[in-house]
Structure 1
């Protein structure tokens, strides 16, 4: 999980994980993603409150009249133990489960199909808001094409990504090919308020990789 989520987040605009956020020992998505970015785990109080309200108001659960033991309580609370900081969104008010967003583009969803579908469908309105936002909130992306092999340009891209990481700019590379031709697309992704810097980086990388 750690390797995959880092790689996908670096190379794609929108990443979704599905499952592994329940209460059992093998539900390790939250702690794994936290470890990937050296983040602590912290209980999210609003999610705990929504979860408890759901339990109390669901007859099939509340009517069991089971005396909860501490181990069961702690296990259930794990479902609200998120990497911190994170963005927590409730796109479907009929569900207590949120979508937890890490590193701006990693979206953590449950694996149960009904919950997954309900959250993803509801989240579409948030995507429209993000796409139509103002004050530099829109994404800005530029591409540079080169016929140099990806392995040749990798050190240059790695150095550049380290240099611009704190500016909120992501550098990615995408190999392409046909039957008789191969090339690489280098991508720069940031917010619109960074577009001047992105343009500057595009010119720099084009000179270095014959783009």
Structure 2
């Protein structure tokens, strides 16, 4: 894009693109926050109750694993349509960023649960055994050992979940979710405005790169093992 094209693009679509960025950020971070509120307990329970976990409960573990696997198996574009009745009940509408957060949360929660489970599983078993030997109960092991030790991995997982939801918001634009994905479809695709399409792609790439860099920085900052190696 040359300078004149950028000026024209800003003049004609600047305010719309800015609103698209705000809508996308709202959908992403509201969904991530809600998904982690529900996904962290699910991930903890799944890890703790597995065979070889600190409190094995095979039946509960199987149920949680089944729920997570089902949730992760449904393509998001199908989920968007399938949960529209639920979206209407919760949000009062099926159009707009607020409505789009409902399927985004439903899609993200099992994804987050699985990532939390995998992060906790990476914790050294020796650290857990040492906590048990010192008389720590299950809750103390979870909150004083598992979560602190897994925090760098949890942060990287959070950045991955956030990036995934950025992509999902683009699909939400196909059913009136607004955001940058909606702008790319309505103007870039249906109206053949190639400049708008390119602009939305660049903005999404920048957004993803910022999220990825922040996640990597924070994870490295608090990783005790990394500091010990340096």
TM-score range with shorter-chain normalisation?
A: under 0.3
Q: TM-score, normalised by structure 2?
A: 0.25
Question: Could you say which structure has the higher strand fraction?
Answer: 1
Question: Could you say which structure has the higher helix fraction?
Answer: 2
Q: Return the structure number with greater relative CO, CA threshold 8 A, min gap 6.
A: 2
